[in-house]
Amino acid sequence: MNAHWQARRSEIPLNRPGDRRTPWQRDRARVLHSAAFRRLQSKTQIMNVGENDFYRTRLTHSLEAAQIGSSLINQLQHVCDEQMQPLLPDLNLMETLCLAHDIGHPPFGHGGETALNFKMLKSGGFEGNGQTFRIVGKLEAYHPEHGMDLTRRSLLGLLKYPVLMPPLPAPDDFDRPGSLGRWKPAKALFACDADLLDWVLEPLSDEDRARFQQVETLDVSPWQRSLHKSLDASLMELADDIAYGVHDLEDAVVTGTLNETQWHNHLDKVLEQLNPELAELMQKLGDQLFGTEHHLRKNAIGALVNIFVTKVRFEQVLPDASEPLVRYNACLPQSERRLLDSLKAVVFEHVINQPEIQQLRYRSQTMLGDLFTAFHTEPLRLLPQNTRARWRTAYEQEGQQGADRILCDYIAGMTDDYAERMYRNLFVV
């Protein structure tokens, strides 16, 4: 791989004697030993942390995604042609991306993300993947200016949405409904991190960059979706989708949140759209999934993961691009993609969208909104000393928007438990 993809923004050579690690091994170590990664152990995946010891957290989800990512690379090493072999990410690089992909998510999952985005509409918005990029590139304490100071290829692989946040409306611009659902974030990076994005995309030609950063506008302005991601990011996202669709499904089945009747009502319609061989296999796995013998359920979960891992392939998504890392993506055939999307949908409908979970989400969103308001109103009184100093510097140099970004960094970095304690300290008598 070309040297520019192994470069670090600091340009500081590693001078530790006898260190023979590859750049990707160093990146993986920096993620694993970071405070942001450790905090994932107390951040919500779907069920709130502490509701049940069985439920996966952001940490266990990330570990499972990393294992699946490694499996995808092993599979591609055996099935892709010789031309594509040199493009495959190193196993350490793949694990780096999967381990780091969720470290920007705030407390309380996507509900917390929506709440912070609403509070930040006047100051550049908030989005979990954008915060991940900000943490690894600027905030984590490996370097005074460049965060973890990861390689350029690692940063490229973490860009699920390689575009900047569009101009956002003030909340008064819309008739706000009775929930925060309307304020889900635009999928993009923060404008204040444009310099880091420019550095990551520097090796691309102007033509490749324009193709790579194409967006489509969604139904409600100003929300947008970027159309492309790099090869490594497509593998990371596929591993993430499989971990979500299969392993979070296991949580739902084992805890009784999803029953067999609901499963069949959802999946039987999907089976008609799959190829006959896959449909027959899914019927057998469904019986095992809801059987009484635990080892058969585990076998079904492993078999579901295997369905997707063994079908991964490369496709040219930007055939005119000269840079192979943006020309190709990892994809699934139509039947397998439809099946994976259906597994994610059943988890959403029968777990995430249930009133009990949505009530917890609303409570969590209210807590984060109140915390933001308190810190915004009394920053020099309520913020910890180190965050207070960062807030003061940002306010003096960038004004209120820059200062609000520091508040957002602080709240987004909280674990669920820490946010709960802080809320009680401020608001509960």
Q: How confident is the model at residue 1 (pLDDT cuts 50, 70, 90)?
A: low
Q: Taking the mean position of all CA atoms in its chain, how far away is CA 179?
A: 23
Buried b (16+ CB within 10 A) or exposed e, 33-51: ebebbebbebbbbbbbbee
CB within 8 Å of 20: residues ≥ 6 apart: none
Q: Using DSSP, state whether 132 is helix, strand or coil.
A: helix
pLDDT, mean of residues 17-32: 94
Assess whether pLDDT exceeds 50 at residue 177: no
Assess whether pLDDT exceeds 60 at residue 57: yes
Cα angle: 106, vertex 108, 110; to 5 degrees: 75
Q: Which of 198-212, 306-320, 372-386, 415-429 has the lowest mean pLDDT?
A: 415-429
Whether the Cβ atoms of residue 24 and residue 151 lie closer than 8 Å to each other: yes
Q: Which of 82-86, 165-169, 384-388, 401-405 has the lowest mean pLDDT?
A: 165-169
Assess whether pLDDT exceeds 90 at residue 98: yes
How many angstroms separate the CA atoms of 147 and 138, rounded? 4
Tens digits of residue pLDDT in 297-321: 999 999 999 999 999 999 999 999 9
Residue 70, amino acid: S
Assess whether pLDDT exceeds 80 at residue 257: yes
Q: Which of 21-25, 106-110, 323-327 has the lowest mean pLDDT?
A: 106-110
Q: Which of 113-122, 240-249, 347-356 has the lowest mean pLDDT?
A: 347-356
Q: Give percent above pLDDT 70 in the chain.
A: 93
pLDDT, mean of residues 198-207: 98
CB within 8 Å of 142: residues ≥ 6 apart: 30, 34, 148, 149
Provide the pLDDT for residue 223. 79
pLDDT, mean of residues 396-400: 96
Assess whether pLDDT exceeds 50 at residue 175: no
Residue 35, amino acid: A
Q: How confident is the model at residue 220 (pLDDT cuts 50, 70, 90)?
A: low
Provide the pLDDT for residue 254. 86
Provide the pLDDT for residue 305. 97
**DSSP designation for 314:** E
Q: Kindly tell me the burial class for residue 110, based on how many C-beta atoms sit within 10 Å of its own C-beta (0-12, 13-18, 19 or more).
A: middle
How many angstroms separate the CA atoms of 103 and 59, rounded? 9
pLDDT, mean of residues 96-105: 97
Residue 218, amino acid: L
Q: Give percent above pLDDT 90 in the chain.
A: 72
Structure tokens belonging to residue 276: 């006959």
Provide the pLDDT for residue 50. 46
Assess whether pLDDT exceeds 70 at residue 53: no
Give alpha helix (H) positions in 323-384.
Answer: 324-327, 334-347, 355-377, 379-382
Provide the pLDDT for residue 49. 43
How many angstroms separate the CA atoms of 303 and 78, rounded? 19
Cα angle: 21, vertex 40, 353; to 5 degrees: 135
The dihedral built from the CA positions of residue 146, 111, 44 and 380, taken in this order, carries a sign that is positive
How many angstroms separate the CA atoms of 176 and 181, rounded? 10
Whether the Cβ atoms of residue 158 and residue 133 lie closer than 8 Å to each other: yes
Assess whether pLDDT exceeds 70 at residue 125: yes
Whether the Cβ atoms of residue 65 and residue 96 lie closer than 8 Å to each other: no
Structure tokens belonging to residue 6: 């192994």
Whether the Cβ atoms of residue 185 and residue 114 lie closer than 8 Å to each other: yes
Cα angle: 73, vertex 77, 79; to 5 degrees: 115
Q: How confident is the model at residue 55 (pLDDT cuts 50, 70, 90)?
A: low
Q: How confident is the model at residue 180 (pLDDT cuts 50, 70, 90)?
A: low
Say what the pTM is: 0.93
CA-to-CA separations, 315 to 230, 325, 326, 327, 331, in angstroms, rounded: 12, 12, 11, 8, 7
Provide the pLDDT for residue 292. 83
Provide the pLDDT for residue 54. 44
Assess whether pLDDT exceeds 90 at residue 15: no
Q: How confident is the model at residue 291 (pLDDT cuts 50, 70, 90)?
A: confident
How many angstroms separate the CA atoms of 64 and 363, rounded? 28
Q: Please, what is the average pLDDT of the chain? A: 91
Provide the pLDDT for residue 353. 80
How many angstroms separate the CA atoms of 69 and 67, rounded? 5
CA-to-CA separations, 9 to 131, 202, 266, 344, in angstroms, rounded: 18, 11, 48, 37
How many angstroms separate the CA atoms of 131 and 133, rounded? 5
Assess whether pLDDT exceeds 50 at residue 271: yes
Q: Kindly tell me the burial class for residue 337, based on how many C-beta atoms sit within 10 Å of its own C-beta (0-12, 13-18, 19 or more).
A: middle
Provide the pLDDT for residue 135. 98
* End-to-end C-alpha distance for the chain, whole angstroms: 59
